[in-house]
Amino acid sequence: MPLYEALYEGLKPFSWLILEAVFDPFVVVIGLLMGWKASQFGKLILAGLAAGLAGTVVTFVFRTLDISWFEGGYMFGGAHALFRIFAGYGWSVLGYSAARIRDRRSGTSPQV
């Protein structure tokens, strides 16, 4: 079995958890905003970490108030937080890239 098939089979139980992490509104907003404001590419690691952890905390706070869409994932341990961190990093890279494209098109130097 090729590696990509083994990886796909291994992630099958997590597929809904991955989709939930990628489209978590808090992760998206915080990741894009922090990526947009980052002045160096290395800061995106911290931006992804902050977005993922903030999304996890907000989700658990909403869960304790019984107003959350997050109705599972506890059987996966910390996988929901890990996937949100990776998703936050992806959104921060997207925000950083969009800011650099905007700066390049307008002829200005990157924000500092």
Q: In whole angstroms, how far apart are CA 12 and each of 15, 32, 70, 73, 83?
A: 5, 27, 18, 14, 14
pLDDT of residue 45: 93
Between 101 and 61, the more confident residue is 101
Give the mean pLDDT of the chain: 83
Phi and psi angles of residue 42, each rounded to the nearest 5 degrees, phi first:
-65, -25
pLDDT of residue 11: 75
Residues near 20 by beta carbon (within 8 Å), at least 6 away in sequence: 69, 70, 73, 80, 83
| Lowest mean pLDDT across 1-5, 51-55, 68-72, 84-88 | 68-72
* Selection from 65, 59, 2, 4 nearest residue 28 by Cα: 59
Q: What are the tens digits of pLDDT across the range 37-71?
A: 998 999 999 999 999 999 888 888 887 787 766 56
* Selection from 95, 88, 47 nearest residue 103 by Cα: 95
Q: Where are the domains of the chain?
A: 28-106
pLDDT of residue 19: 83
